[in-house]
Amino acid sequence: MIRIEQLNKTYRVDGREVSALTDVNLEIGKGEVFGIIGRSGAGKSTLLRSLNLLERPTSGRVLIDGEDITRFDSRRLHALRQRIGMIFQHFNLLNAKTVAGNIDWPLKCTGSLDAAQRAERVAELLALVGLTEHANKYPTQLSGGQKQRVGIARALANRPQLLLCDEATSALDPETTQSILRLLLDINRQFGLTIVLITHEMQVIRTLCDRVAVIDGGRIVESGKVVDVFLHPRHAVTRGMVAQSDPLTAAMLDPGHAFAKDKLRGTLVRLTYLGDVTYQPILSHLAAATPARFTILQGEVSSIKDLPFGQLLLEFEGSEDDISKVFAELDRFEIHHEVLQ
Ligand SMILES: Nc1ncnc2c1ncn2[C@@H]1O[C@H](COP(=O)(O)OP(=O)(O)OP(=O)(O)O)[C@@H](O)[C@H]1O
Ligand SMILES: [Mg+2]
């Protein structure tokens, strides 16, 4: 659905050229939830805003359904933007309008429905985002999560094919974040809507996205399925972001850390597994089938979107022969294992 080719963006600041995006290439499929993650200033907003040309690339092409939108005249661009909804970190609601008025606004601008049809559509959207009872309130009377629901309803008003989300949940508390992410996932599944979202939070990517691209210094440094990128990060920036949610492992793998120096005697191995094997009694099997002794140092058993996974950091003690028996058993269960030290 979206194809970004050789995209570059430079800003002119005090007479100097500052590069915000360098040679970005991406493909995003129809119905996909695609995440772009990176640190502050990495170029996420610039990249997202290139998809509806709120930001004009310096060079390169942005193809949507096969057409290069950078060549569109203003009439076609206007029509395109009606097919693309956008939600913002700080909601950007019209404070002088009610909840219903905010959702009605884009319908009014498009001008293709009469007043009765618009009222019907607004009621439908209010129900979708669970705000029917708040229709006549003003934005200042709403909580952050409710404001973002208005932002989502407004973005969906004209039945877009593509939804762009710029840090849609970073102003919200964790529980409200989860409810907004669930709403976005429902919308994606119910309407087959393609969603591109940017975030600096790995948790958002894990909950919602099918694929992810990691951006750093204006370049895409890694991209792929969320499970692959999350469980086997290759680039240092990605590893850093994954480790943020797992400071203990990061500390243990730091050779300067007291724990690693003093306490580790055996072989440190990280096991990663996906799917049904998550529910198998792997550890008791290892204990029974091999003479190696093991200690669990860190572990997470959770899911990435709908896929259960486990990742355990174990220290094995035993002879080389014992350890190779462990590895043979792990291979038998198709459990990925990686010796860390
Ligand atoms: N209008 C502008 N003029 C000059 N430089 C800009 C402009 N907009 C962005 N930049 C620069 O481009 C780079 C990328 O900015 P961008 O807003 O895309 O980052 P981001 O990844 O969205 O960051 P954040 O997570 O903080 O929102 C930054 O170095 C920023 O200072
Ligand atoms: Mg930004």
Encode 288-307 in three state secondary structure: HHCCCEEEEEEEEEEEECCE
Residues whose Cβ atom is located within 5 A of ion ligand 2:
45
Task: Output the pLDDT for position 341.
Answer: 75
What lies within 8 Å, CB to CB, of 257 at 6+ separation is 251
pLDDT under 70: residue ranges of the chain: 244-263
Rounded distance between C-alpha atoms, residue 191 and residue 183, angstroms = 12
Q: What is the pLDDT of residues 248-274, one digit of tens each?
A: 666 666 666 655 556 677 888 999 999
Give the N- to C-terminal CA distance of the chain in Å, as an integer: 44
The residues lining ligand 1, judged by C-beta closer than 6 Å to any ligand atom, are 11, 13, 18, 20, 38, 40-46, 200
At residue 176, the pLDDT reads 87
Ligand 1 centroid from CA 45, angstroms: 7
> What residues does 234 pair with on adjacent strands?
none
Question: Which region holds residue 117: left if phi is over 0, alpha if psi is between -120 and 50, else beta?
Answer: alpha
What string of DSSP letters covers 97-151? S-HHHHHHHHHHHH--S-HHHHHHHHHHHHHHTT-GGGTT--GGGS-HHHHHHHH
Rounded CA separation 123/99 (Å): 11
Q: What is the pLDDT of residue 246?
A: 61
Q: Which atom of ligand 1 is nearest to the CA of 198?
A: 22
pLDDT tens digits, 25-42: 999 999 999 999 999 999
Phi and psi torsions of 53, nearest 5°: 60, 25
The angle formed by the CA atoms of residues 99, 100 and 105, to the nearest 5 degrees, is 100
Which residue of 18, 196, 201 sits with most ligand 1 atoms within 8 Å of its CB, as the best mutation to test the pocket? Answer: 18
**C-beta separation of 39 from 202 below 8 A:** no
pLDDT of residue 173: 86
Residue with tokens 């895409």: 220
pLDDT at 245: 58
Which atom of ligand 1 approaches the CA of 46 most closely? 18
What value, to the nearest 5°, has the Cα angle with vertex 221 and ends 9 and 192? 80
Ligand 1 atom 12: the closest Cα is on which residue? 20
- Nearest atom (ligand 1) to Cα of 18: 5
Ligand nearest to the CA of 47: 1
Delineate the domains of the chain, giving CATH numbers in brackets.
Answer: 1-83+160-175+184-238 (3.40.50.300), 95-159 (no CATH), 246-339 (3.30.70.260)
The ligand minimizing its distance to the Cα of 166 is: 2
Tell me what pLDDT residue 12 has: 92
For residue 215, the ligand 1 atom closest to its alpha carbon is: 21
In this structure, the residue with its CA closest to atom 30 of ligand 1 is 41
The pLDDT of residue 207 is: 92
